[in-house]
Amino acid sequence: MDTRPIGVFDSGVGGLTVAKEIMSLLPNEKVIYFGDTARVPYGNKSQHTIIKFSQQIVRFLIEKDVKAIVIACNTANAYALEAMQEIFNIPIIGVAQPGAQMAIQATKNNKIGIIGTEGTIQSKIYSKLIQSMNTDAHVYGKACPLFVPLVEEGLLNDSVTYEIANRYLRTLKEKQVDTIVLGCTHYPLIKTLLQEIMGESVNLVDPAFETAKNLKALLINQNRINENNNDKYNHYFYVSDRAEKFEHLAKIILNHPMMPVEQINIEDY
């Protein structure tokens, strides 16, 4: 047994959707969350920069004595997961592997669409993972760079978001995909709108729950599950900027009481 916390990080608030699934599936585990709000977004930055940022965050989380780390950001997963696994001697998992597994289980016609940031799509991480598991699968990626700003402006059910989504999804419709991976942690927040455009017959895959399941399997496998009944909601949240704004959004997303969010200087790590 290992009572140490789980580290989870993202460029901002998006990864809280993953943290929430972890808290729900593994209620005895403590979570240490870091959101890199001073340097958000990650989606249009280079691999070199994303690796540097991820390295600083992993060092911070290790200093907080976490027993495992979840990269709850598709871009950081795409660009930095392998490098982090090589550099650090601690279990580190991402969201893309679970997302790819779910897509393979969900598709019937073997035509899978991936939507994400420029970085995630350019990395072809989902294509590589899916094709390594199912060589018959056809994978079509589409970068949707305006979704994050539109979601952050709260235009979740807006005609403008609908118009932009319609443009982005056009090619995936033409390819007749029956499954789309929401390859960015912001996108579940506009799932209803995306489903309306694609039609009810298309599966929209959100990797968050499957990621929590992967983490659970890892902890069981390594005998690291925390069986002590902790104080509930005993999670800690850190950001690199604007703690109050983060706390406001986090309360809405997590929908339960939480500790005050603390701001740290991530460049020092």
Question: Is 144 among the catalytic positions?
Answer: no
Select the residue interacting with its own copies from 39, 124, 213, 224 (CB under 8 A).
39
Q: Is residue 228 marked as binding? A: no
* Catalytic residue (one of 18, 40, 51, 73): 73
For residue 133, give the H/E element and its range: helix 125-133
Contact 56, 88 (CB under 8 A): no
Using the minimum distance from each CB to its own copies, give the nearer residue, 134 or 145: 145
Give the range of 39-47, 91-99, 126-134, 221-229 binding its own copies by CB under 8 A. Answer: 39-47
Q: How far is CA 156 from CA 133, 220, 230, in A?
A: 34, 38, 36
Question: Is 184 among the catalytic positions?
Answer: yes
Q: Is residue 154 marked as binding? A: no
Q: Does the footprint of its own copies cover residue 262 (CB under 8 A)?
A: no
* Catalytic residue (one of 72, 184, 193, 202): 184
Select from 65, 119, 64 the least CA-distant residue to 96.
Answer: 119
First CA to last CA across the chain, in angstroms? 29
Using the minimum distance from each CB to its own copies, give the nearer residue, 167 or 256: 167
Q: Which residue has the tokens 């996108």?
A: 187
CB count within 10 Å of CB 122 equals 16
Q: Does the footprint of its own copies cover residue 264 (CB under 8 A)?
A: no
Q: Is residue 268 marked as binding? A: no
Q: Does the footprint of its own copies cover residue 240 (CB under 8 A)?
A: yes
Structure tokens at 180: 């789309």
Contact 56, 26 (CB under 8 A): no
Q: Which of residues 125-164 bind its own copies (CB under 8 A)?
A: 145-146, 149-150, 152-153, 159-160, 163-164
Using the minimum distance from each CB to its own copies, give the nearer residue, 168 or 209: 168
- The one-letter amino acid code at 24 reads S
User: Rounded to an integer, what distance in angstroms lies between the CA atom of residue 261 and that of residue 53?
Assistant: 20
CB count within 10 Å of CB 175 equals 14
User: Rounded to an integer, what distance in angstroms lies between the CA atom of residue 30 and that of residue 10?
Assistant: 17
Give the range of 41-49, 102-110, 221-229, 230-238 binding its own copies by CB under 8 A. Answer: 41-49
The residues binding its own copies (CB under 8 A) are 37-39, 44-46, 48-49, 145-146, 149-150, 152-153, 159-160, 163-164, 240-242, 267
Which amino acids are annotated catalytic?
A: 73, 184
Bind-site residues for substrate? 10-11, 42-43, 74-75, 185-186
